[in-house]
């Protein structure tokens, strides 16, 4: 269990398992995430149990915005702590693969909190680039949602495979001539061409990432 897996599970509403609790008790950053999540859920339950008072909706919205800002700030501090800034690694080789890791570190939790798009809608928009049936041939789709990425719209997918979870960033409008690779902060990324567009695969196990990318690539 690492910080990324903990936050994915917590924000997806899966509840805190024994393994997650062990990690939280040893990780100050995840303790803070857990506290903020618990405070937000408590405020939301309280709002549902009584008539909504004036200003409650604005207060909850403000709380959510602050929570997202703190999460992004924590991610930035984590990068700086090892002496490598975001701009530094975007300037290195394979920038799209590094940007995929950056998305997972900074934006994935926000995408999960905003909820998934209907499966039928996803099937339509991805039919020509990466059909859902092909994705589901190697794992279970736990989340899918459009998101801004690389100056266009990509589709963020959290995919549960037998070895754990990986993140996919399906980019229907971005053609790639050859694959890209990157590694940072314990995460590995491969961006591989599709018949139409490309897909980035990010995870903590390089072997799993390469296997999923190979299965999905053109």
Whether 32 has a pLDDT exceeding 80, the answer reads: yes
Which residues are bridge partners to 165 per DSSP? Answer: 160
Helical (H) or strand (E) element with 105: helix 95-106
pLDDT at 29: 82
pLDDT digits (tens, 9 = 90+) for 178-216: 899 999 888 999 999 998 999 999 999 999 999 999 999
Average pLDDT (14-31) is 84
Can you give the pLDDT at residue 122?
95
pLDDT reported for residue 81: 44
pLDDT band at 85 (very low <50, low <70, confident <90, very high): very low
The torsion angles phi and psi of 180, rounded to 5 degrees, stand at -125, 155
* pLDDT over threshold 90, residue 156: yes
Pairs from 180-183 (Cβ < 8 Å, separation ≥ 24): 180/94, 180/95, 180/96, 180/97, 181/94, 181/97, 182/89, 182/92, 182/93, 182/94, 182/97, 182/98, 182/100, 182/101, 183/101
pLDDT of residue 69: 56
Measure the CA–CA gap between 148 and 155, rounded to whole angstroms: 8
CATH code, residues 95-216: 3.40.1000
Structural domain boundaries in the chain: 3-83, 95-216
pLDDT of residue 47: 45
Predicted TM-score (pTM) above 0.85: no
Is the model's pLDDT at 68 over the cut of 60? no
Give the rounded percent of residues in the chain with a pLDDT score beyond 70: 73
How many residues appear in the chain? 218
Residue 154 to residues 11, 15, 109, 186, 199, Cα–Cα distance (Å) = 21, 28, 16, 23, 9
The string of DSSP codes covering 75-102 is: HHHHHHHTT--HHHHHTSS-HHHHHHHH
**Residue 90: is its pLDDT beyond 50?**
no
Whole-number Cα distances in Å, 21 to 24, 27, 34, 181: 5, 10, 10, 33
């Amino acid at each position: 269990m690492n910080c990324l897996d903990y936050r994915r599970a917590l924000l997806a509403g899966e509840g805190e398992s024994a393994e997650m609790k062990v990690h939280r008790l040893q990780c100050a950053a995840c303790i803070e995430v857990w506290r903020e999540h618990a405070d937000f859920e408590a405020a939301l339950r309280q709002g549902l149990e009584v008539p909504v008072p004036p200003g409650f909706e604005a207060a909850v919205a403000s709380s959510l915005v602050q929570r997202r800002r703190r999460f992004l700030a924590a991610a930035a501090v984590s990068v700086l702590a090892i002496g490598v800034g975001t701009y530094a690694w975007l300037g290195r080789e394979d920038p799209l693969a590094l940007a995929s890791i950056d998305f997972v570190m900074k934006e994935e939790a926000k995408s999960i909190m905003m909820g998934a798009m209907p499966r039928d809608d996803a099937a339509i928009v991805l039919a020509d680039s990466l059909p859902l049936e092909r994705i589901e041939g190697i794992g279970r789709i736990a989340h899918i949602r459009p998101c801004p990425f690389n100056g266009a719209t990509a589709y963020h997918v959290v995919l549960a495979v037998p070895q754990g979870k990986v993140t996919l960033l399906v980019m229907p409008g971005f053609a790639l001539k050859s694959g890209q690779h990157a590694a940072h902060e314990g995460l590995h990324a491969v961006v591989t061409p599709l018949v139409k567009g490309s897909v980035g695969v990010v995870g903590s196990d390089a072997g799993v990432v390469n296997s999923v990318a190979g299965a999905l690539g053109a």
